[in-house]
Amino acid sequence: MIPKCKVETYTGATLDHTITDDLTNVHVRMVLNGVGTFTFAVPVFKGTTGQGYNYTDIVLNDTVKIYFWYDDVENAPTTPNFAGKICKISGIMAQGKFYRVFEGKCLGEVLERRLKRNKGWQNTAASTIVTELANDLGLGTSDIETDTSQVSLSVAQTYLDVLKDISDYWVDATTQIKKDFYVDVDNDLVWKSRPIRSTGVETLSIGENIQSYDVIRSILPVKNKIYVYGDYAFQDYYWTDSLTHWTAVQGTMSQEGISIKMDSDAEGDTEFYRTTNPYPFIGGYKPVNPASANTLSFQYQMSPGVTNQSFTVRLEAPDSSNYFYQTFTGFSLNDWHAESLTLGPSGNWSSSGSPSWTAIYKLRFITYAESASYSFYLKELKVTPLRLYGAAENSASQNSYGVRELQVTDSLLQSDSLCEKRAETLLYQLKDPPVRVDLTINGNTNVKIGDRLSLTIPAENISAQNFDVLAVEHNFVNDKFTTKASLVSAGDIRQLPSGSPLETVASHLQTQKKVARGIQLVK
């Protein structure tokens, strides 16, 4: 088989160059749910001095179409295997020769350079939103699969990130949107259920077509207990509005109107506490926990007829042996007293043991008085500002791999429900360790992103197992054509575990981009 490659360059719709024999080092990379890249080089010196230079009229943002085929097997294809925009041009001289190197991104580059700003949808069909996104960017919509699942989402981010959020959106326990997407060579947005293609795909195996491979199994990406915090909530209720999550230790507890009422025991004591539910814990100091609250506020009253009265507030951080506390004495009886206590080191808190403002698990209240039995009332208890919150965990994964936690804070999440949906989505993506396979075969344009294909590598105990293709690279160098593919074990994992130091750096860069737009990650 004789491999061939052709590059066409366009200004608008006008074909400027068709390049074949001059091509050196053609490389394209197609990425599922992402933006592909390309690079190619051409010599520019025409010959003897004075004859000028080739390809100097190719400029930034020109369109490039790239074709691969085998000349003795098939005719040159009429549809390109890759299309994109030139983003960078370099001129170099090596070994006395002059070259221009062109680098760029696929037509999906518009997804990462455009922002969908300050937009929200409430109970809107998923495919309606995706169609809106495509229309915004002038992308074709004929390959958008209908999905009437109802989505509620607020965004201020790149179109690429919006598509990722919608494509892995948790509606409820029985309905999840699991789609993959890319922009094709016709400038259409392809958005379809996983896998995009499972028939007409290649079967890859050692001894048949795999030239080399690298199999990576890693537990490091696994997260099986996930906390998601959203925007700060407008809390229109008080933790004292009901007895839910309250426990009496000494004395008798009851609900009286909007107040928690505690009747003292025979020794003149009451002790009672509330967990921080629905939060597993709350922070009290933002430098150590970004989701921390600032203020604990409440009102209290003690009935008359007693002496030496006292009231203590304890913040168990994290337990009854390690806590912060404040004590009030000498307050007037039968009057309501309002308190607003600043949390954190700047507050007027004493400590016992070695508490930490990172995590407060219980609010404990203790009263004492002499001379008579009494009633103590607590109302309008509120910890503010608290972020919206949702969580998800998987016990099977925890039993297999240990508890592995992830905390995410994203101010675009505007309800507890949306926080929970995000947590559930992250959980099904991260609860199992992925198996990544990078392999090289003879050049083959029938290996496509979005394929689910059968893979056999006996030495790695992989026998006719389904894998999903997340990235495909075609390389045409010195008239040799090879294809590299990156695959993960079939399922819903769409983030390749890092396979090299460079990919680790790229992963950290993506994390930094999330942080830059306000998302906080604690791993």
Rounded to whole angstroms, the Cα distance separating 148 from 424 reads 20
Q: Tell me which of 89, 106, 123 is where a domain ends.
A: 106
Least confident of 50-59, 322-331, 332-341: 50-59
- The 3-class secondary structure across 45-63, one letter per residue, is ECCCCCCCECCCCCCCCCE
- Percent of the chain past pLDDT 90, that is, above it, reads 72
Query: Is residue 506 in some structural domain?
Result: no
User: What pLDDT sits at residue 498?
Assistant: 65
Q: Are residues 64 and 129 in the same domain?
A: no
For the chain, how are helix, strand and coil distributed in percent, rounded to 5? 15, 50, 35
**Is pLDDT of 172 > 90?**
no
Q: Are residues 72 and 132 in the same domain?
A: no
Mean pLDDT of 251-280: 95
From residue 487, give the alpha-carbon distance in Å to each of 32, 172, 283, 454.
11, 28, 40, 11
Q: Are residues 248 and 373 in the same domain?
A: yes
Rounded to whole angstroms, the Cα distance separating 467 from 449 reads 11
Query: Is residue 497 in some structural domain?
Result: no
Least confident of 329-338, 373-382, 383-392: 383-392
Q: Model confidence over 108-146: pLDDT tens digits?
A: 999 999 999 989 899 999 999 999 999 999 999 999 999
Residue-range definition of the domain harbouring residue 59: 3-106
Mean pLDDT of 45-60: 74
Query: Is residue 484 in some structural domain?
Result: no
Residue the block writes with tokens 């070695």: 354
- Percent of the chain past pLDDT 70, that is, above it, reads 92
Q: Are residues 92 and 114 in the same domain?
A: no
Arithmetic mean of pLDDT over the chain: 90
**Is pLDDT of 508 > 50?**
no
Q: Model confidence over 201-232: pLDDT tens digits?
A: 999 999 899 999 999 998 988 999 999 988 88
Query: Is residue 82 in some structural domain?
Result: yes
User: What pLDDT sits at residue 422?
Assistant: 87
In whole angstroms, what separates CA 456 from the centre of its chain? 31
Q: Model confidence over 383-408: pLDDT tens digits?
A: 998 888 899 999 999 999 999 999 88
Mean pLDDT of 65-85: 90
Rounded to whole angstroms, the Cα distance separating 474 from 484 reads 6
**Is pLDDT of 507 > 70?**
no
CATH (domain of 289)? 2.60.120.430
Q: Are residues 272 and 360 in the same domain?
A: yes
